[in-house]
Amino acid sequence: MQIVSGRLDRPRVHFEAPPSSKIHEEMARFCDWFNATSPVGKTPLPALMRAGLAHLYFESIHPFEDGNGRLGRAISEKALAQGIGQPSLTALSLMIHRRREQYYAQLEAANKTLDVGRWLEWFADLVIAAQSHTLEGLDFSLANTRLWDRLRGQLNPRQEKALFRLMRAGIDGFVGGLSASQYMALAGAPAATARRDLGHLVELGALRRTGQLKGTRYWLPHTLNADATDAGVGDPES
């Protein structure tokens, strides 16, 4: 199995897996190594190092036609969980997806040079970023819960629907912020009603407003994008 790019007459081979006849043998060796390097194994390794090496090792064998990436991430997460002695919450898959170009470049370099130092440094940074994102996500969920509790009984169904949509966008926020026209579409409300609803939400501290006129946008108060200076309630025209 090869990962190839470029023209058909001048292909570039990024990766070549072991021949299929060797897969069973290589996977048996991998499982033996994984068990031996666990916290209760004969030659335990630090959790972060073991997780990074396990992912690289498994991806280098590439035993399946599809799904190797998902399984490799699951193996890394298992190694991390074994290292801390309990299940862990980490956004490893999300971080790899966001940095997928770097990810494939690092895998290719490690596979060709057999130098795992740079890979482990990159992987360690990835895990730290994934853990930070997870903690931010938990804080975001708690902030959402506290906001709902504080606003209980003060919102109409239109406002509740809009807030739920913003919360569903996650810690990175609604892309570009919520405009008045988007609120009208979400809530099925005319312009005057949308203006009153949004102004009320800002007064309650349920939303923050940035920009003016057609550039007016609304954000949850605890999203990453809600760090601009409030522009006041005013007249939302976009």
The encoded tokens of residue 115 equal 């130098």
**Is 132:142 a contact under the CB 8 Å cutoff?**
no
Residue 218: beta bridge partners?
A: 178, 209
**Which CATH class, in words, describes the domain spanning 153-219?**
mainly alpha
Whole-model pTM: value is 0.74
Q: Report the alpha-carbon distance of residue 182 to residue 104 in Å, rounded.
A: 37
Spell out the domain ranges in the chain.
Answer: 2-133, 153-219
Residue closest to 59 by CA, chosen among 76, 43, 81 = 76
Q: What is the CA radius of gyration of the chain?
A: 24
Q: Report the alpha-carbon distance of residue 86 to residue 102 in Å, rounded.
A: 29
69: pLDDT strictly greater than 50 = yes
140: pLDDT strictly greater than 80 = yes
DSSP H or E segment with residue 163? helix 157-168
Residue 6: beta bridge partners?
A: 11
Mean pLDDT in residue range 201-229: 83
pLDDT tens by residue, 162-204: 999 999 988 877 788 999 999 999 999 999 999 999 999 999 9
130: pLDDT strictly greater than 90 = yes
Length of the chain: 238
* One fold for 2-133 and 153-219: no
C-alpha distances out from residue 66 to 20, 79, 84, 190, 195, Å: 14, 22, 30, 49, 50
Listed in sequence order, the residues at least 6 apart from 130 whose beta carbon sits closer than 8 Å to its beta carbon are 90, 91, 92, 94, 95
pLDDT of residue 40: 95
pLDDT of residue 171: 80
**Choice between 228 and 109, residue whose per-residue pLDDT is larger:** 109
Second CATH level (architecture) for the domain 2-133: Orthogonal Bundle (1.10)
pLDDT tens by residue, 34-55: 999 999 999 999 999 999 999 9
Residue closest to 138 by CA, chosen among 93, 170, 95 = 170
Which stretch of 16-20, 94-98, 128-132 has the lowest confidence by average pLDDT? 16-20
Instruction: Please count the other Cβ atoms lying within 10 Å of the Cβ belonging to residue 131.
Output: 17
CA angle 180, 186, 187 (to 5 degrees): 85
79: pLDDT strictly greater than 70 = yes
Residue closest to 166 by CA, chosen among 236, 229, 218 = 218
Mean pLDDT in residue range 8-29: 81
